[in-house]
């Protein structure tokens, strides 16, 4: 059997987060935001306080807190890729956060998905590594219904157009070959990114609520890659943070 498929259901690991990460007085609601510039703006404009700093080999990872709609809200940047994002999620669950909404960008596999159009993730194809250490092998991991509903209800109430759909989570953006893209499109994937399956698996394993919303970015649906200037959409990215915050606090 391939090592990645050798799932071990043992609940406690040698380095168990709840035993090596000190519990903190943190909000139960937490937004996971992939947009560094948005986090910096929120920190500056809303006098966010630093809850804690976690030191990894790539530097410090900071968890912040603000008050939003009269409630405390934590938020942090999860890094890039399923390995790091899943591990940082683990740490913040161990610290006491229990309800998470993640917001980020994604490649699109359907040309009609315009830049900035929103997709609430309902499931993720597990083409990465982290999820296989948390759940038995399967093709997909299903999103938490409460996370999906919170996002859908928030977007609907605000009149924000959105789709519900499947994403393809991969560790290797430079190995998104035409054959693989075609296969993922055929099984219904609307988007491609690097973290959803891993974080969803961690949340399921730890029995916490996790939902994720993506906005359409670069286009991989045609014969040539089109960046579409997706990372320059600052208004969309900031709005997505606040929509995620609202959805999170509704949980």
Q: What is the per-residue DSSP string for 180-214?
A: HHHHHHHTTEEEEESSHHHHHHHHHHHT-EEEEEE
Residue 219 predicted with pLDDT over 80: no
Domain ranges of the chain: 24-249
Which tops the pLDDT comparison, 219 or 177? 177
pTM reported for the whole predicted model:
0.95
pLDDT at position 230: 63
Residue 43 predicted with pLDDT over 90: yes
| Architecture (CATH level 2) of domain 24-249 | 3-Layer(aba) Sandwich (3.40)
Q: Do residues 204 and 100 touch, judged by C-beta distance below 8 A? A: no
pLDDT at position 232: 65
Give percent above pLDDT 90 in the chain.
85
**What is the average per-residue pLDDT within 33-54?**
95
* Region class of 81: left (phi > 0), else alpha (psi between -120 and 50), else beta: left
- Sort strands 209-219 and 118-127 into parallel, antiparallel or unpaired: antiparallel
**What is the average per-residue pLDDT within 198-206?**
98
* Region class of 69: left (phi > 0), else alpha (psi between -120 and 50), else beta: left
Buried b (16+ CB within 10 A) or exposed e, 66-81: bebeeebbbbbbbbeb
Distance (Å, rounded) from C-alpha 35 to C-alpha 24? 25
């Amino acid at each position: 059997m391939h090592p990645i498929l050798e799932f071990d259901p043992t609940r406690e690991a040698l380095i168990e987060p709840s035993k090596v990460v000190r519990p903190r007085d943190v909000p139960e609601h937490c937004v996971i935001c992939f947009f560094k510039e948005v986090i910096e703006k929120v920190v500056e404009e809303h006098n966010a306080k630093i809850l804690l700093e976690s030191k990894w080999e790539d530097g410090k990872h900071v968890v912040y807190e603000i008050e939003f709609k009269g409630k405390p809200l934590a938020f942090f940047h999860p890094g890039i890729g399923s390995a790091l994002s899943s591990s940082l999620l683990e740490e913040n669950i161990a610290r006491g956060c229990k309800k998470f909404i993640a917001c980020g960008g994604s490649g699109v596999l359907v040309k009609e998905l315009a830049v900035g159009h929103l997709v609430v993730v309902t499931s993720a194809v597990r083409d990465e590594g982290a999820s296989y250490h948390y759940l038995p092998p399967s093709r997909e991991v299903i999103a938490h219904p409460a996370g999906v509903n919170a996002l859908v209800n928030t977007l609907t109430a605000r009149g924000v157009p959105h789709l519900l759909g499947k994403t393809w989570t991969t560790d290797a953006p430079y190995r998104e070959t035409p054959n693989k893209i075609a296969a993922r499109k055929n099984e219904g994937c609307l988007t491609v990114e690097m973290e959803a399956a891993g974080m969803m698996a961690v949340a399921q394993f730890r029995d916490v609520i996790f939902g994720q919303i993506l906005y359409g970015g670069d286009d991989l649906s045609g014969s040539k890659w089109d960046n579409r200037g997706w990372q320059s959409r600052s208004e969309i990215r900031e709005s997505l943070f606040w929509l995620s915050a609202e959805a999170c606090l509704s949980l």
